[in-house]
Chains A and B, each alone.
Chain A
Amino acid sequence: MSLLWTPFLPLAIVLSSLIPGLLIFTLREEQQRTRVALNLVGVVLKLLLVVVMLAGVAQGFTFRFQVPFLPGVPLILQGDALSLQFVSLSSLLWLATTIYAIGYFRGSPLQSRFFGYFSLCVSATVGLALAGNLVTFLLFYELLTLATFPLVVHKGTAAALDAGRRYLAYTMGGGTLTLMGVALLHSVAATPDFTAGGYLAPLLGEVDVSLTLAFALLIAGLGVKAALVPLHGWLPRAMVAPAPVSALLHAVAVVKAGAFGIIRVVYDVYGVETVAALELTRPLLYLAGFTIVYGSLMALRQRDIKKRLAFSTVSQVSYITLGVALLGPVAAVGALAHLVHQGLMKVTLFYCAGSFAETCGVHQVQEMDGLGRRMPLTMVAFTLAALGMIGIPPLAGFISKWYLGWGALAVDEPWVLVVLVVSGILNAAYFLPMIYRGWFAASKTGECARTEAPAMLLWPTLFTAALVVLVGVFAAFDLSPLAWAQLIVDREFGL
């Protein structure tokens, strides 16, 4: 691979959504075709670039783009194995969600604004994934907040604005804490690149107070977006956003950004040994375990489909944090695989919820009676994703839970198994009734004709549902997220 263009590849991946986004802002409402074309060109280009980079990274290349920013702290975009796990997920789901959103918003106003911010949101997510040091990460982390706010309040209703204010209050607070953590670390250790195994080990014993405080600040700041209890309050409220936004927020952009940040901080800033030496894992582990059970319990209490899914996200995203905090290589594989698996399952569920609401006006769980006969394909997708969430083999969710459980035993934390089992039971308790109602309960409104969702809503749903099955069934293959997670862990742990 020639050396001339490789540094620009990460930049091009960010720009491939940023530039279409900025162009879309300038379009008039009625320029629907141009808008769609710009979106699709950006999506396809990004996917192609990601594929090139995947091939390169698999062969051991690193892609690094750098511009000066602060004295001693350049802005770095860098493609490594870990960043690509997240970049591929977001690019793929951006494709699906763009198509879904085009169908979803057909004929509704303010589309240029929506798709503009939508592209910015993806750019920020991808930039955050490719960030090569903490300051670059912080920059995109804050930009992500700015780009998602207009999406959350898109409807402009009182409820949407209320949710938006709450979202900002939480995320700006989190961003400020993250800034403090980053600056504190910079003041004791400068800001080198993310390094497999971390770069803080040499400072152990000298500035432990600063390191511990910085860790707490960073985890609190990232935990807001990752919806760790008690910092999760914004997430269920943000459900008033349009369905494609919820899908993106929950599967890729926001909550994943938080979880990904935690992965980066633990593995590439502090390093497993430093975290263990500072005894920082236990609080994080308990917090993640508590969040998993609490989120599931709250999901059980919700009557609104999207609210239930939201609390399910609170619970499921913490699997990632849990796997990271276990600090063992096996659990790490589970966590990294779950990053992708949870994204695929949750995006499918939100697509379905959006289709139910748009096509049949179904918002509440008890309104789901008989949906299977009216929208069979969508219901199939919903069922697959829900079963995956519960952890039924051979679907995606089972794979990650299996590795998490195995990883917990490997590092001698058997109580984590209890958490996983309890959460699995709770998952079944809130998903199975929905599936049952959909397929087996008789519709209260009488028999109703088959009204499958429009193609633009249906195909992305089926596509991601198929992926839920495929990444589970073919988990052992070289190109699966699990195999890639294994590759990352090999590099991170130096195996």
Chain B
Amino acid sequence: MNTALLSLSAPLLAALWLLLTHRRQAPVVIVASLISLVAAVFSLYQVIDAGEQSLALGGWESPLGIRLRLMPVSAMLLTFTALIHSLVGLYAWRSRHSQTRHTDYWPLSCLLHAALAALWLSHDIFNWYVTLELLGLVAVVMVCLAGPKAYGAALRYLLLSLAASLCYLLGVALLYGVYGVLDVSLLAEAARADPSTRTALMLMTVGLMLKAALWPLHLWLPAAHSSAPTAVSALLSALVVKGPLFILWLLWSRVAPEELGQAAGPWLALAGVGALLVGGWSALRAPLIKLMVAYSTVAQLGYALLALGLMLHWRELSLDAALWLFVLAHGLAKVSMFLAAGEMQSTLGSRRLDSLKGATQTMPVAMFAFAVAGGSLIGLPPSGGFLAKWLLLLPLLQNPAHWPWALGVMLGTLISAAYVFRVVAISFDRARPTSPDFNPDRFAQWLSLLPALLVWGMALISEQLILWLTGATL
């Protein structure tokens, strides 16, 4: 537990240090995120070894005090967050095209990291509200780093995020009024399927779906994610939207009474299929590189939502593992895709997809990263995306009555293949001659390839990973 706290406090202290000293030192952030990463890995080991741990802050036991809880999934997400933060930090620091090198990106990204770490460790619906609020505000400010042209998208993000928080808070208040507790475990014991619980869950779900940009409440995401600076887009897509998803998962799988979950499951799953199809279609039609990647996030979150909904409906617990594998695979692939897309966009000088003509010749490594990451989004074996899809498919295929859902997954796969390969095909167009001073940044390109290789490298430990996740999410 102490290591987990260290993983949380390293970025927090770094943020405070940078804010107090008014410095914009990238190395401090990188070091902090690496310390956080090492600590998170240790906490992961501890959890695997010794099982769940919890800590009552200040010695106050619940229901009075605030309890932090280190579950296997939260340890995994801590590690994941620190890994992605350090990778993206490295890009923001070293890339020649990074728009964020001398800005407030550094303290903000640390705050974001700390807020997420706190979210993963919290086990209390009000604490979640606090972390969500912090996360949302930091994310909005980070979108603004792109300058005035992003203000519109950021404002919309802010307003919807506030509305979402309000919804969530109302739900929290309602639950507190009925049960008098905020701790998740206590709430889970007390929860009954009465109208007020139902209303509270509904309000919280709407709030969380808005925050996580789950279809059909995704409208703010494409503009915000695509207009943010590249490093920020990567963090937002890979990490930020996963926070509310985590809460949604715990809320429904732990707190909500079983019969409510069973009733809500199909609706969540339907929204998931909707996300896959509509998000995928929008990605296919998107004229801008980063907009396409952002819409692909909307689509990919559909898989997670589908897994969640069906898990609730059938009490099929193996789907939990599918959900978290999707989160891991999507996070890594999306970081790679955003970094590659951002790097190509700034090197080739246009935000439009057409500007990628000939990118396989002019920027082969970045384009390769984009395609490899895309392969995982499609779910080609043996990438992480495939592992997740395999886990999702098996329970769907076992019973002929469930086959329509499998059809949804199949259509989602086809449409994601279409939008990924649309870009890849453009890049194979013959390259126009480049100017003599054309000098792409090699290091940044290779850095964007790294997470994509990691997501395919998941195949090397796939069996243990799946078995562990299946056990860990029970």
Residues of A within 8 A of B430 (CB): 155-157
Residues of B within 8 A of A286 (CB): none
Top 6 closest pairs, chain A to chain B, by CB = A156-B430, A68-B463, A139-B381, A187-B397, A172-B417, A153-B428
Contacts A110-B361, A186-B397, A187-B394 aside, 9 further interface pairs with beta carbons under 8 A come to: A68-B463, A70-B387, A71-B463, A71-B467, A153-B425, A156-B430, A176-B417, A180-B397, A209-B400
A129 CA / B87 CA spacing, docked (Å):
38
A451 at the interface (CB under 8 A from B): no
A266 at the interface (CB under 8 A from B): no
Q: Is the CB of A135 within 8 A of B381?
A: yes
B310 at the interface (CB under 8 A from A): no
Residues of A within 8 A of B424 (CB): 149
Q: Is the CB of A186 within 8 A of B394?
A: yes
A442 CA / B358 CA spacing, docked (Å):
44
B406 at the interface (CB under 8 A from A): yes
Shortest CB-to-CB span from A184 to chain B, Å, is 5
A113 CA / B367 CA spacing, docked (Å):
13
Q: Is the CB of A183 within 8 A of B417?
A: no
Given that A161-B429, A165-B421, A176-B417 are known contacts, is A183 also in contact with B380, CB under 8 Å in the complex? no
A157 CA / B417 CA spacing, docked (Å):
22
* Cβ contacts A to B, 30 pairs, < 8 Å: A68-B463, A69-B459, A69-B462, A135-B381, A139-B381, A142-B380, A142-B381, A150-B428, A153-B425, A156-B358, A156-B428, A156-B430, A161-B425, A161-B428, A161-B429, A164-B428, A168-B421, A168-B425, A172-B414, A173-B414, A179-B379, A179-B393, A180-B410, A183-B393, A184-B397, A187-B393, A187-B397, A209-B400, A210-B397, A210-B400
Query: CB-defined interface of B384-406 with A at 8 Å, one 1/0 digit per residue?
Result: 00010010011101101000001
156-179 of chain A: CB within 8 A of chain B: 156-157, 161, 164-165, 168-169, 172-173, 175-177, 179
Q: Is the CB of B462 within 8 A of A70?
A: yes
Residues of B within 8 A of A169 (CB): 418
Residues of A within 8 A of B418 (CB): 169, 172
Q: Which residues of B contact A (CB under 8 A)?
A: 358, 360-361, 364, 375, 378-382, 387, 390, 393-395, 397-398, 400, 406, 410, 413-414, 417-418, 421, 424-425, 428-431, 459, 462-464, 466-467, 470
Q: Which residues of A contact B (CB under 8 A)?
A: 68-71, 75, 110, 113, 135, 138-139, 142-143, 146, 149-150, 153, 155-157, 161, 164-165, 168-169, 172-173, 175-177, 179-180, 183-184, 186-188, 209-210
Q: Is the CB of A146 within 8 A of B387?
A: no
Chain A residue nearest to B411 in the complex (CB): A176
Q: Is the CB of A69 within 8 A of B421?
A: no
Main secondary structure of the interface of B (DSSP, over half): helix
A156 CA / B432 CA spacing, docked (Å):
11
A146 CA / B379 CA spacing, docked (Å):
13
Residues of B within 8 A of A139 (CB): 381-382
Residues of B within 8 A of A150 (CB): 360, 428
Q: Is the CB of A69 within 8 A of B463?
A: yes
Main secondary structure of the interface of A (DSSP, over half): helix
Given that A135-B381, A172-B414 are known contacts, is A156 also in contact with B429, CB under 8 Å in the complex? yes
Given that A139-B382, A187-B397 are known contacts, is A176 also in contact with B425, CB under 8 Å in the complex? no
Shortest CB-to-CB span from A112 to chain B, Å, is 10
Chain A residue nearest to B414 in the complex (CB): A176
Q: Is the CB of B421 within 8 A of A138?
A: no
Shortest CB-to-CB span from A172 to chain B, Å, is 4
Shortest CB-to-CB span from B360 to chain A, Å, is 7
Which of B360, B397, B414, B431 sits near A183, CB closer than 8 Å?
B397
A71 CA / B467 CA spacing, docked (Å):
7
Shortest CB-to-CB span from A166 to chain B, Å, is 10
With a 10 A CB-CB cut-off, give which of B395, B410, B430 has the most chain A CB atoms: B430
Chain A residue nearest to B358 in the complex (CB): A156
Given that A172-B414, A186-B394 are known contacts, is A69 also in contact with B375, CB under 8 Å in the complex? no
Shortest CB-to-CB span from A364 to chain B, Å, is 25
Given that A142-B380, A187-B398 are known contacts, is A70 also in contact with B425, CB under 8 Å in the complex? no
Q: Is the CB of B421 within 8 A of A172?
A: yes
With a 10 A CB-CB cut-off, give which of B361, B364, B381 has the most chain A CB atoms: B381
Q: Is the CB of A70 within 8 A of B414?
A: no
Shortest CB-to-CB span from B412 to chain A, Å, is 10
Residues of B within 8 A of A209 (CB): 400
Residues of A within 8 A of B380 (CB): 142-143, 146, 175
Chain A residue nearest to B399 in the complex (CB): A187
A308 CA / B381 CA spacing, docked (Å):
35
